[in-house]
């Protein structure tokens, strides 16, 4: 979220759509930052004003679901779906702190307008549908997955195959392409390939990974990814089942939608086609253990399908009972209310592995905390705290504006924000190697010279995103020289870096905060620390030991592609690294821990 807040701050400050270091942003279209910049203009620059944009769309999402439900089936389906969404802890959690609750609103609007256009066959409605999807694309490029929806619906309904509909589809696609071209064409002219320009870097990596796979491997990966998304793989913390206590009912509801689609029901077809269009994204998220909140759009549609299933089930039960008994008219609303109440009770008071129940949301809400006399300062954003505010304000008062600051992550984004974007901020270089998607690395060009500042592993072994990182002094000095860094700031998470800067005479500590949790150094000159012992984060040692036990082949690949070509360390040295003691007394290395103050 900090990425979007700071890019919005730069827009508000007249610096254009740029990142903290002043470079142009090309990895995400700018509609969301534009909206936050507008919020800054209306409400003032603060974390709260940035998050008002998210909160507005968190309300618009259930309203859009209600609109679709009311349009296709009836108001009770829409109302029940919206009520279930609003009473879900996980929906609240994933919606209120990420971008992912915004683009689904435009996609839902697109779905509704597509059906309206097919009903009326009026060109202006087709145009509005194309523009609605373009707004979703300008928020997140994944919205393009829904572009085939109207074509699929026409293919399934012979009655829609006429000249007016074909013209309308051409208008829809033309409006969509024209709107997104304002973002895509500049990317193409700046050297991006078509994949990257259309679907962003992560989307391009997903497509490229699929292209190089054999058909059998692609199908297998697709099926395993879908299973991992619902059930969870080696780490199920981000699975649908772990985050939603009603997840089993989602499966039943989607099967119900499939049956309705076979029966030529319009909503069933729309939901079924939408699920199929989203399934590659689901497989990608599941395979790579990404946060379940990436697919808020799927969750909104799942609650709509669930509400529809409950209403239809209630009516079906009543119809069976009517054949034998005389049913009073009030029984249907009572049964519907009972089922709805039961589900809401489960969501509010129930708890799963990650679904903590909405009762916790109520207890931690602004109203509850205010009534209890608790502090609500910056409640929603953990990274943007009072310590970061203090650091940012000190920088504004004591460091010349326009200076280049190198800050270790994750402290770089909040400090940049509280320094009011008056400085150029460069993130601490973190060269890494990973097998995530395909084997890849950054900033590794030949063997590094000089001592190594630190090594670490950034994810547990059972996480597909695990990677190993090493920062040689040569790489650090090269970044300082390249960007003209004037000051270096170490945050609490990588506080062990102070062990390097404190002993190197080329850096002078000028300020520290919170008993040394954050330190600021002035860069005097670049001096080599030839006798410096590499700092080895304890989690790397645990990681290497696990690789020796369970995945020796993967470890040999790390040695072949990372340790040997980059650091000049052979297999024996890596084996010795895995066997060193964790008490910090090992000769030749110093074992450290993330988050510990040194």
208-255 tens-digit pLDDT: 655 556 678 778 888 888 998 888 765 667 788 888 888 999 999 999
Label residue 10 by pLDDT band (50, 70, 90). very high
Most confident of 4-13, 79-88, 168-177, 402-411: 168-177
Q: What is the rounded CA–CA span in Å between residue 48 and residue 587? A: 49
Q: Which residues, 6+ apart, have CB-to-CB distance to 15 below 8 Å? A: 22, 421
Nearest to 103 by CA among 178, 26, 28: 28
For 101-151, the three-class secondary structure string (H helix, E strand, C coil) is HCHHHHHHHHHHHHHHHHHHCCHHHHHHHHHHHHHHHHHCHHHHHHCCHHH
Give tens-digit pLDDT for 448-477.
Answer: 667 888 888 876 666 666 788 888 898 899
pLDDT for position 447 = 65
Of 174-178, 180-184, 396-400, 559-563, the range with the lowest mean pLDDT is 559-563
Specify the length of the chain in residues. Answer: 598
Query: Is pLDDT of 323 > 90?
Result: no
pLDDT for position 438 = 44
pLDDT for position 439 = 42
The DSSP output letter for 324 is T
Residue that wins the pLDDT comparison between 226 and 444: 226
Residue that wins the pLDDT comparison between 293 and 352: 293
pLDDT for position 437 = 47
Label residue 480 by pLDDT band (50, 70, 90). very high
Q: How large is the average pLDDT for residues 88-114?
A: 87
Label residue 201 by pLDDT band (50, 70, 90). low
Task: Report whether 494 contacts 407 (CB < 8 A).
Answer: no
548-to-456, 555, 564, 579 alpha-carbon distances in Å: 16, 7, 17, 10
Give tens-digit pLDDT for 578-592.
Answer: 887 666 556 678 889
Give tens-digit pLDDT for 251-301.
Answer: 999 999 999 999 988 899 999 999 999 999 998 888 877 888 889 999 999
Report residue 298 CA to chain centroid gap: 14
pLDDT for position 329 = 65
DSSP result, 524-538: ------TTPPPEEEH
Share of the chain above pLDDT 90, in %: 39
Of 24-28, 217-221, 312-316, 370-374, the range with the lowest mean pLDDT is 370-374
Task: Report whether 148 contacts 111 (CB < 8 A).
Answer: no
Give tens-digit pLDDT for 44-99.
Answer: 988 888 888 888 898 899 999 999 999 898 888 999 999 999 888 888 878 776 66
Nearest to 563 by CA among 554, 553, 573: 573
Residue that wins the pLDDT comparison between 433 and 68: 68
Label residue 441 by pLDDT band (50, 70, 90). very low
Q: What is the rounded CA–CA span in Å between residue 175 and residue 177? A: 6
How many other CB atoms sit within 10 Å of the CB of residue 559?
18
pLDDT for position 526 = 93
Label residue 374 by pLDDT band (50, 70, 90). low
pLDDT for position 382 = 47
Average pLDDT along the chain = 84
Q: What is the rounded CA–CA span in Å between residue 525 and residue 228? A: 50
pLDDT for position 191 = 80
């Amino acid at each position: 979220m900090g990425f979007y807040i700071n890019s919005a701050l730069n827009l508000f400050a007249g610096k254009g759509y740029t990142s903290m270091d002043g470079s142009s942003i090309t990895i995400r279209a700018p509609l969301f930052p534009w909206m936050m910049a507008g919020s800054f203009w209306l409400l003032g620059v603060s974390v709260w004003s940035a998050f008002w944009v998210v909160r507005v769309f968190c309300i618009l999402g259930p309203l859009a679901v209600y609109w679709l439900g009311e349009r296709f089936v009836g108001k009770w389906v829409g109302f029940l779906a919206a009520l279930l969404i609003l009473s879900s802890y996980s929906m609240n959690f994933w919606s209120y702190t990420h971008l992912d609750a915004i683009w689904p609103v435009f996609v839902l609007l697109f779905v509704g307008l597509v059906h309206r256009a097919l009903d009326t066959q009026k060109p202006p409605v087709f145009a509005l549908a194309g523009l609605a999807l373009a707004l979703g694309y300008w928020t997140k490029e994944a919205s393009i997955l829904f572009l085939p929806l109207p074509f699929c619906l026409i293919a399934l309904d012979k009655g829609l195959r006429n000249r007016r509909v074909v013209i309308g589809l051409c208008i829809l696609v033309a409006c969509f392409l024209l709107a997104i071209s304002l973002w895509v064409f500049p990317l193409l002219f700046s050297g991006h390939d078509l994949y990257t320009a259309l679907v962003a870097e992560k989307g391009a990596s997903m497509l490229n990974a699929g292209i190089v796979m054999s058909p059998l491997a692609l199908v297998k990966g697709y099926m395993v990814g879908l299973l991992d998304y619902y059930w969870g793989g080696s780490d199920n913390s981000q699975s649908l089942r772990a985050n939603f206590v009603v997840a089993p009912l989602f499966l039943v509801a989607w099967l119900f939608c499939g049956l309705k689609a076979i029966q030529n029901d319009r909503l069933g077809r729309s939901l079924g086609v939408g699920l199929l269009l989203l399934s590659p994204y689901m497989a990608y998220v599941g395979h790579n253990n990404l946060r379940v909140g990436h697919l808020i759009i799927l969750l909104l549609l799942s609650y709509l399908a669930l509400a529809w299933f409950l209403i239809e089930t209630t009516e079906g039960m009543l119809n069976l009972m009517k054949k034998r008994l005389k049913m009073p008219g009030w029984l249907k609303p009572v049964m519907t209310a009972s089922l709805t109440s039961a589900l809401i009770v489960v969501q509010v008071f129930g708890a799963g592995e990650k679904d903590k129940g909405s009762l916790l949301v109520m207890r931690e809400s602004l109203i509850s905390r205010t009534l209890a006399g608790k502090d609500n300062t910056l409640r929603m954003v953990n990274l943007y705290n009072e310590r970061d505010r203090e650091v940012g304000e000190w920088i504004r008062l004591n460091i010349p504006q326009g200076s280049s600051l190198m800050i270790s992550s994750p402290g770089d984004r909040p400090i940049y924000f509280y320094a009011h974007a008056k400085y150029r901020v460069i993130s601490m270089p973190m060269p890494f190697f990973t097998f995530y998607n395909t084997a890849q690395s950054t900033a590794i060009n030949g063997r590094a010279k000089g001592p190594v500042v630190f090594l670490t592993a950034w994810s547990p072994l059972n996480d597909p995103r695990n990677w190993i990182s090493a920062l040689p002094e040569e790489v650090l000095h090269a970044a300082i020289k390249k960007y003209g860094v004037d000051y270096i700031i170490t945050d609490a998470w990588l506080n062990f870096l102070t062990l390097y800067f404190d002993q190197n005479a080329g850096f002078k500590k000028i300020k520290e905060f919170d008993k040394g949790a954050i330190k600021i150094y002035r860069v005097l000159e670049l001096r080599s620390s030839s006798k410096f012992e590499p700092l080895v984060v304890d989690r790397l040692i645990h990681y290497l030991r696990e690789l020796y036990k369970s995945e020796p082949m993967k470890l040999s690949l790390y040695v072949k592609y990372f340790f040997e070509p980059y650091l000049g360390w052979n297999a024996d040295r890596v084996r010795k690294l895995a066997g060193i003691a964790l008490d910090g007394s090992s000769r030749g290395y110093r074992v450290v821990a993330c988050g510990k103050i040194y």
